[in-house]
Structure 1
Amino acid sequence: MPIDAAKALAAEPRSGEISWNRKDVQLYHLGLGAGVPATDPDELRYTLESRLHVLPSFATVAGNGSPGVISSLSMPGVEVDLARVLHGGQTLTLHRPIPAEGSATATGRIAAVYDKGKAAVLVMRTDVADADGPLWTNDAQIYVRGEGGWGGDRGPSPRLEPPRGEPERTVERTVREDQALLYRLSGDWNPLHADPEFAKLAGFDRPILHGLCTYGMTLKSVVDTLLAGDVTRVRSCTTRFAGVVYPGETLRIRMWREEGAVRVAVSAVERDDAPVLADTVVAHS
């Protein structure tokens, strides 16, 4: 079996130094579609170095996403075909605001391995800390199709009860045709998002947008719409990737305000509101 759960969980964590600067932050924001309109003061806080605010989801790519999902798939006990890999969900927990420039130590390990029958799920945890202490924790839930069925723990269900009533706000965001090509420059080089032939091998008609790009676009919409543009209010952001997004499509982002949190659902307008992100919760101060 390509995945040895016991060996993967027992493997020593991998640590490495990461660093980032204002240019990295700006490139990430541009990859999410920030800067439209280019002279809008609310957009300039994402694009202009003299007033730069860091969207918390930058944590998913800081240091070029290292240690990233692809490198983690080569850890002891894990040997899988990249074409069978899908990003199933993401949880980001912020311990304090992310500086526009910095260096830190990132420590990655496989925190859990679940048997979903037709697939295995790996929970890849990355803890990042600098000289002043913890900065953030990333948990990526990775589905590996065809690798389940060994009788292991199925793990928790990420499904939540749907939000009640009509959303407080609904916004639509257009995904540019070249958005995946720009976003991947922040460090996620999976050919699924750029190479048509590889996308076909993975079962898609054409390259798809990175799930974490949709994740970042969604968090930006919540911050801009319901958190008064204040990135420091975000405490965590959890989502389940319920479907794919193709460059050129339009995202419909629906938001419900709850005590200390915003519930979010995201769908693809052109495909009859096909779900894209589900069970999404942004906790905030």
Structure 2
Amino acid sequence: MLDHAAIMELRTRDATSWSERDAMLYALGVGMGADPVANSVDQRELPFVHERGLKLLPTFAIVPTFAGGPLLLIGLDTRTLLHGEQAVTLHRPMPPSGTGTVEGRMLGAWDKGVGKGAVFAQEKILRLDGDPEPLATVVTTAFGRAEGGFGGPADGQPAPHQVPGRAPDLSLDLPTTPSQALLYRLSGDLNPLHADPEAARAAGFPRPILHGLCTYAITARAVLAACCDYRPERMLHHQARFSAPVFPGETITVDLWVEGDAVSFQARVTARDAVVVRNGLSRLRGEAVR
């Protein structure tokens, strides 16, 4: 039986490092620079996949903070564990390479009841070596379908951001490739669900699905392109809730609502009439540029 008090006391501290190659591989893995010669949009994405004047996607902070963390110490049933929400806050732009530490702690563990599952949220803070100030904060929320009824609090989970009820101000179509998950997994998430057809079928999917974190980064690409003039230093925060899987090769349509320095968003696969990301919010430095 899980112990709520013990869960909330969990702390981790891990060393990490990243290189320019890691940053470029991540950008390629989320679809940037697909045709940088023929396509004028992709020409603006070239600095994210080329070492000359290299730019980093704001969501790249997930890569050096991916391993370890208190969620792995709870003893959750990974067969029934779902990635619920993701958020990245950048306190200042990340350098193209670096070494640092990642300090993790639990933010909450909410019990939905027997047969209803439980929600667990962890925070990881990335600091560069020799610098006491945080570089990035990464929050991950997971839903354990088998963990309900352990005696934790039922209330107190933060409410999701609500997108406006009006029609979106603009929408972007961002295609994925059939090999997208095979490329993205090289950034650290080697879950066979995204590569092995047998593992996907065992989990109830007809074929491997795209990493939720890849879809998450694709929504950040949309905000970066539509509202930030491809200037990653303008993105301060990016959060989203996952609601359905994406299959590699599908096109993701990202709907955006712009209100000053806040950009609300959701993502959908129109071909299947499926909303795959909900309750999205980006915070920008200054008003959105369109």
Equivalent in the alignment of 1:47: 49
Aligned length: 276
- Deviation of 1:135 (Å): 0.3
The separation in 2 between residues aligned to 1:282 and 1:226, in whole angstroms, is 10
Equivalent in the alignment of 2:111: 115
The separation in 2 between residues aligned to 1:225 and 1:74, in whole angstroms, is 36
8 Å Cα contact 1:66/1:106 also seen in 2: no
8 Å Cα contact 2:77/2:146 also seen in 1: no
- Percent of pairs identical after alignment? 39
The separation in 2 between residues aligned to 1:28 and 1:211, in whole angstroms, is 14
8 Å Cα contact 1:158/1:240 also seen in 2: no
Q: 3-state DSSP class of the match of 2:190?
A: coil
Among 13, 16, 21, the alignment partner of 1:18 is 16
Among 56, 59, 62, the alignment partner of 1:60 is 62
Equivalent in the alignment of 2:185: 184
Equivalent in the alignment of 1:137: 137
8 Å Cα contact 2:108/2:157 also seen in 1: no
- Deviation of 1:94 (Å): 0.9
Q: Structure 2: state its 5+ residue gaps.
A: 286-290
After alignment, is 182-191 or 107-116 more displaced? 107-116
Q: 3-state DSSP class of the match of 1:219?
A: helix
The separation in 1 between residues aligned to 2:151 and 2:181, in whole angstroms, is 37
The separation in 2 between residues aligned to 1:43 and 1:160, in whole angstroms, is 29
1:230-261 deviation line (CA, Å, top 9, x unaligned): 10011111111111111111101111101211
- Deviation of 1:202 (Å): 2.1
TM-score when scaled to structure 2? 0.90
1:22-51 deviation line (CA, Å, top 9, x unaligned): 000000000000112223430211111012
Q: 3-state DSSP class of the match of 1:177?
A: coil
TM-score when scaled to structure 1? 0.92
After alignment, is 191-200 or 262-271 more displaced? 191-200
Which amino acid is the alignment partner of residue 226 of structure 1? C
8 Å Cα contact 2:163/2:265 also seen in 1: no
Q: 3-state DSSP class of the match of 1:251?
A: strand
Which amino acid is the alignment partner of residue 224 of structure 1? A
Equivalent in the alignment of 2:147: 147
The separation in 1 between residues aligned to 2:72 and 2:263, in whole angstroms, is 36
1:126-183 deviation line (CA, Å, top 9, x unaligned): 0111123210011100111121123422332533433132222111111111111110
Change (3 A) 1:158 1:195: farther
Change (3 A) 1:181 1:7: same
1:36-80 deviation line (CA, Å, top 9, x unaligned): 2223430211111012111110011126x2226xxx4431xx212
The separation in 2 between residues aligned to 1:23 and 1:160, in whole angstroms, is 34
The separation in 1 between residues aligned to 2:208 and 2:43, in whole angstroms, is 33
8 Å Cα contact 1:170/1:252 also seen in 2: yes
8 Å Cα contact 2:119/2:141 also seen in 1: yes
8 Å Cα contact 1:37/1:43 also seen in 2: no
The separation in 2 between residues aligned to 1:126 and 1:160, in whole angstroms, is 21
1:84-120 deviation line (CA, Å, top 9, x unaligned): 1110001111111011111111111222111123111
Equivalent in the alignment of 2:213: 212
1:215-242 deviation line (CA, Å, top 9, x unaligned): 1011011111111111001111111111
Which amino acid is the alignment partner of residue 180 of structure 2? Q
8 Å Cα contact 1:255/1:265 also seen in 2: yes
The separation in 1 between residues aligned to 2:159 and 2:47, in whole angstroms, is 33
The separation in 1 between residues aligned to 2:127 and 2:59, in whole angstroms, is 16
Q: 3-state DSSP class of the match of 1:220?
A: helix
Q: 3-state DSSP class of the match of 1:27?
A: helix
Equivalent in the alignment of 2:79: 83
The separation in 1 between residues aligned to 2:92 and 2:104, in whole angstroms, is 19
Q: 3-state DSSP class of the match of 1:8?
A: helix
8 Å Cα contact 2:71/2:122 also seen in 1: no
8 Å Cα contact 2:89/2:237 also seen in 1: yes
The list of structure 1 runs, each at least 4 consecutive aligned residues, that deviate by more than 6 angstroms after superposition, is none
> 5 Å matches for 1:178-257?
178-257=179-258
The separation in 2 between residues aligned to 1:207 and 1:156, in whole angstroms, is 31
- Deviation of 1:6 (Å): 1.8
8 Å Cα contact 1:83/1:201 also seen in 2: no
